Amino acid sequence: MESEIIFNIDVMLAKRKMSVSELAEKVGITPSNMSILKTGKAKAIRISTLVKLCEALDCQPGDILEFRKGEGE
């Protein structure tokens, strides 16, 4: 397994009692793109999108992003 960045958007949505569609609207992206971020299938994220996520969820980037080191590294 290689190292990866995990998006903990689910955790923040639960803490804020917010729906995925509500967050997508606040951030200005489509619900399908929010789903891609939420499931960790995104290959990249714009800093401006990360800023909007932090504003909408009232959090720090580290509350959303987590680094997981791969096995054998």
With respect to residue 13, please indicate whether it lies within any of the assigned structural domains.
yes
- Which alpha helices (DSSP H) does the chain contain, by range? 9-16, 20-27, 31-38, 47-57, 61-64
Task: Indicate whether 73 pLDDT > 90.
Answer: no
Q: What is the CATH number of the domain that holds 51?
A: 1.10.260.40
Number of domains in the chain: 1
Stretch 31-56: mean pLDDT, rounded?
A: 94
Would you state the pLDDT for residue 23? 97
Q: How distant, in Å, are the alpha carbons of 38, 59, 72 from that of 31? A: 10, 20, 36
Query: Could you tell me which residues come within 8 angstroms of residue 18 by beta carbon, excluding any fewer than 6 positions away?
Result: 56, 57
Q: How confident is the model at residue 40 (pLDDT cuts 50, 70, 90)?
A: confident
Q: Is residue 73 a part of any domain in this protein? A: no
Indicate the pTM of the whole model.
Answer: 0.88
For position 1, what pLDDT does the model report? 78
Of 12, 65, 15, 23, residue with least CA distance to 40: 65
In a domain, 59, yes or no: yes
Domain with 19 in it: 4-68
Opening angle at CA 44, ends 10 and 28, nearest 5? 60
